[in-house]
Amino acid sequence: MNQANQPIGIFDSGVGGVSVLAQAHALLPAEDFLYYGDNAYAPYGVRSHSQVMERVRWVAGHLLDQGAKALVIACNTATSVAAAELRAELDLPVIGMEPALKPASLCQNGGHILVLATPMTLALPKFAALMERYGQRAVPLPCAGLVEFVERDELDSDALHDHLAYLFGDWPQKPIDAVVLGCTHYIYLRRAIAAFFPATPLLDGNLGTARQLERLLAERNLLRAGHRQGTLTLETSGDAKIIIPLMQRMLHII
């Protein structure tokens, strides 16, 4: 069996990682992808460390059982909790995510950099290390409750606008050089968030993650050869009748 012909496993707590799937598929069109949204357990960010670890292990095992040649953790929160452990345990590429603070730190106009992410992502040591290196002007802004809007397919509503206004407080009136979308769900709120910061770049880590996937597959001779159109298989622990059509639509929003 040629391992390069095996699919890439990619997962998130829910629908947010579909934005990463879309980016990776665009970069690596010949690859087959298996996507798992753990929607029944979303959001991860309000769970305990051990609960998230347990879910990540289960989902990773599920994708490996189907022959995944690499794993993409399309979730900043799950990466912070579980990437190091998975890498230590598995002999295959494990690609994680982190808030795009490094590229954001290059946006220098005398203002702050707002880092939007789940409370859990911002509280864990991985983010502290990132802040240490690139965070001189960064302000971490925990965004409790935002993932739930995306899971409900509520990407543009008065309630969403009110919640964002509450989270942002008076930051939209202050000098901001960049806003980091440090949770893959927030990619789908780009328009709603941009309405508060109209002249500010909103940065995410999706392209960087897709490129890292390509690099690690190339290093191990695992890139699939040939001009073929790869397949995308979508799975969820949630209500498939609702979630799969939502994921299919979200694939095309990006």
The site for ligand DGL (CB under 6 A) is made up of 12-13, 16, 42-45, 75-77, 118, 121, 147, 183-185
Catalytic residue, from 28, 34, 63, 75: name it. 75
Pairing of strands 70-73, 112-117: unpaired
Indicate the residue whose CB is closest to ligand DGL: 45
User: Of 147 and 246, which CB lies nearer to ligand DGL in the complex structure?
Assistant: 147
143 is catalytic: no
Q: In the 8-state DSSP scheme, what is residue 229?
A: -
User: Of 23 and 118, which CB lies nearer to ligand DGL in the complex structure?
Assistant: 118
User: Of 18 and 222, which CB lies nearer to ligand DGL in the complex structure?
Assistant: 18
Closest CA to 52 of 17, 76, 70, 69: 76
Closest approach of Cβ 190 to ligand DGL, in Å?
A: 14
Please tell me the distance from the alpha carbon of residue 136 to that of residue 105, in angstroms, as a whole number.
8
Closest approach of Cβ 147 to ligand DGL, in Å?
A: 5
Quick check: 181 and 116 in contact, CB under 8 A? yes
Closest approach of Cβ 136 to ligand DGL, in Å?
A: 23
Closest approach of Cβ 78 to ligand DGL, in Å?
A: 7
107 is catalytic: no
The number of C-alpha atoms within 13 Å of 244 and in the hemisphere containing its C-beta is 10
Catalytic residue, from 28, 183, 192, 193: name it. 183
User: Of 181 and 222, which CB lies nearer to ligand DGL in the complex structure?
Assistant: 181
Active site residues: 75, 183
